Amino acid sequence: MTQAIRFHETGGPDVLKFEDVEVGNPREGEVRVRVEAIGLNRAEVMFRYGEYLEDPKLPAGLGYEGAGVVEAVGPGVDGIAEGDEVSVMPAFSMNDYHFYAEQAVVPAYAVTPRPNGLDAVQASAVWMPYLTAYGALVDIGGLSKGEAVLIPAASSSVGLAAIQIANHIGAISIAATRTAAKADALRKAGAAHVIVTEEQDLAAEVMRITDDAGARLAFDPVAGPMVDTLANAMGPGGTIFEYGALSGDPTPFPLFAALGKGLSVRGYTLFEVIGDAERLERAKGFIYEGVEAGDLVPTVDRTFDFAEMVDAHRYMESNQQLGKIVVTVG
């Protein structure tokens, strides 16, 4: 038996319950991990509310990623051994597997060695942010040196990863944040430019920064009415990646800006990359190399103990964090 966190109804953080469940032995293609740290993601909050890409099958578990030590390996698994220190990537349905537990069985394809030099907390803050940002900006967007990328909600773990990836490539990172509260922190985090949208005209500032060329890519988790503003900040032939729905409001298609500039507005999730073995290997190589070079440094805002998971979820919903929230186990 192991202690795990599940929910029997959708709703706020208080629906999360600690329960003793049987973890079992890994089956074909699976690995059992002793969990050391769990990286929290906005997707888990949406899943808990029943507002994610898939509906939870109640009672449901939670958890996409983290770090731990391999306890057992199922049949047909190569390259992973008992005692390996690993990260678990967000590469599965939470209706099939979940990681909010003291021990967890996960698919072997979601298990990867920890990047060199990272402890369990840091290693639980790597894969969702960097894979998500890499997939849009590099794998699909082809971002290159000197090009401008606009990053709304830049204080999230994925936004910070996007800043670091842009800087690693030599692109121009333009971070957008709603209030001035996180502006200095974003500059310290490496953003080449920071725009405070409650105080500045986003499109005008982007045009000023880029000498009227506009951004080639926008990487947006907000959606809603702001997409019109983003479209006005784009250059000809630019692409707006929509990878979240933080606004909660309907998202209009920016017709006239799209017609005039030949813009693309594209939905995106990291599963596009994770679902393709060759693309995933390229992504992992890019991230390992960036971590080794010191250009990609996971940003951990705050850690909570496993017993404080409800508080950790409340904190995530407060939107106070700058970077990743991590829960430690054991």
Residues 68 and 90 in one domain: yes
Structurally, how many domains does the chain consist of?
A: 2
Average pLDDT over residues 43-64: 93
Residue 243: strand, helix, or coil: coil
Spatial contact of 19 and 5, defined as CB atoms under 8 Å apart:
yes
Residue 285 lies in a domain: no
C-alpha 24/C-alpha 2 separation (Å) is 9
Task: Specify the amino acid at residue 16.
Answer: L
pLDDT digits (tens, 9 = 90+) for 5-53: 999 999 999 999 999 999 999 999 999 999 999 999 989 999 999 988 8
Residues 99 and 153 in one domain: no
Longest dimension (CA), the chain: 61
Residues 139 and 238 in one domain: yes
Predicted local confidence at residue 189, as pLDDT: 93
Predicted local confidence at residue 30, as pLDDT: 97
Provide the residue range defining the domain that includes 211: 128-271
Q: Is the pLDDT of residue 245 over 90?
A: no
Strand partners, 37: 67, 328
Residue 278 lies in a domain: no
Residues 11 and 23 in one domain: yes
Q: Cα 193 from chain centroid?
A: 22
Task: Specify the amino acid at residue 212.
Answer: D
pLDDT digits (tens, 9 = 90+) for 199-236: 999 999 999 999 999 999 999 999 999 999 999 999 99
Predicted local confidence at residue 244, as pLDDT: 87
We report the CATH number of the domain holding residue 317 as 3.90.180.10
Residues 28 and 144 in one domain: no
We report the CATH number of the domain holding residue 198 as 3.40.50.720
Residues 25 and 38 in one domain: yes
Residue 283 lies in a domain: no
Residues 192 and 257 in one domain: yes
Residues 102 and 232 in one domain: no
Q: What is the mean pLDDT of the chain?
A: 95
Residue 280 lies in a domain: no
- Domain boundary at 255, 271, 287, which? 271
Residues 47 and 71 in one domain: yes
Terminal-to-terminal C-alpha distance of the chain: 15
Predicted local confidence at residue 311, as pLDDT: 97
Spatial contact of 153 and 221, defined as CB atoms under 8 Å apart:
yes
Residues in the chain: 330
Residue 261 lies in a domain: yes
Residue 290 lies in a domain: no
Task: Specify the amino acid at residue 104.
Answer: A
Residue 320 lies in a domain: yes
Strands 17-21, 30-39: pairing kind: unpaired
Residues 141 and 264 in one domain: yes
Residues 38 and 73 in one domain: yes
